């Protein structure tokens, strides 16, 4: 359903966990957790809910996750902007087929000649 929908409408594909087919970038899974791990203010263990520190730590974690996810989203938006600019410059301009190509680029973001290079991670 997602594949079909994203072939007909512009959209972003964010897999939250890796699957055995290795479809999609793993920037949410790996990069976000890596970014969170480097932030000393982010706590994976919380005080008890009735603790006076619980709400402040929850708010701090939410702010950190928002910032880090913003980085991942910004990279996706930059790649999308580059993709649409290049597509518009092709003969015939931006076409319906470019929606499918954008989805395929998100599903397989590794460069064919570089087994480990991921378009989204390289930015």
Q: For residue 34, give the 3-state DSSP assignment.
A: helix
For residue 100, the cross-strand partners are none
- What lies within 8 Å, CB to CB, of 101 at 6+ separation is 87
DSSP 105-119: HHHS-B-TT-SS-BH
> pLDDT band for position 69 (50/70/90)?
confident
Average pLDDT (50-75) is 90
What was the pLDDT predicted at 112? 65
Average pLDDT (5-12) is 86
Mean pLDDT of the chain: 82
What was the pLDDT predicted at 62? 92
For residues 25 and 10, give the distance between their C-alpha atoms in angstroms, rounded to a whole number.
Answer: 17
> pLDDT band for position 114 (50/70/90)?
low
For residues 104 and 5, give the distance between their C-alpha atoms in angstroms, rounded to a whole number.
Answer: 13
Spell out the alpha helix ranges (H) of 1-123: 2-8, 33-37, 54-88, 97-107, 119-122
Q: Where are the domains of the chain?
A: 2-122
């Amino acid at each position: 359903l997602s594949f079909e929908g994203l072939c007909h409408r512009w959209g972003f594909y964010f897999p939250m966990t890796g699957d055995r087919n290795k479809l999609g970038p793993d920037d949410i899974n790996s990069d976000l957790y890596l970014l969170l791990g480097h932030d000393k203010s982010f706590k994976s263990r919380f005080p008890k809910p009735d603790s006076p520190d619980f709400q402040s730590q929850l708010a701090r974690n939410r702010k950190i996750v928002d910032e880090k996810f913003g980085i991942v989203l910004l990279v996706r938006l930059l790649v999308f902007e580059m993709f649409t600019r290049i597509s518009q410059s092709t003969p015939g301009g931006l076409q319906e087929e470019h929606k499918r190509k954008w989805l395929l680029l998100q599903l397989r973001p590794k460069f064919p000649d570089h087994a480990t290079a991921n378009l989204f991670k390289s930015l």
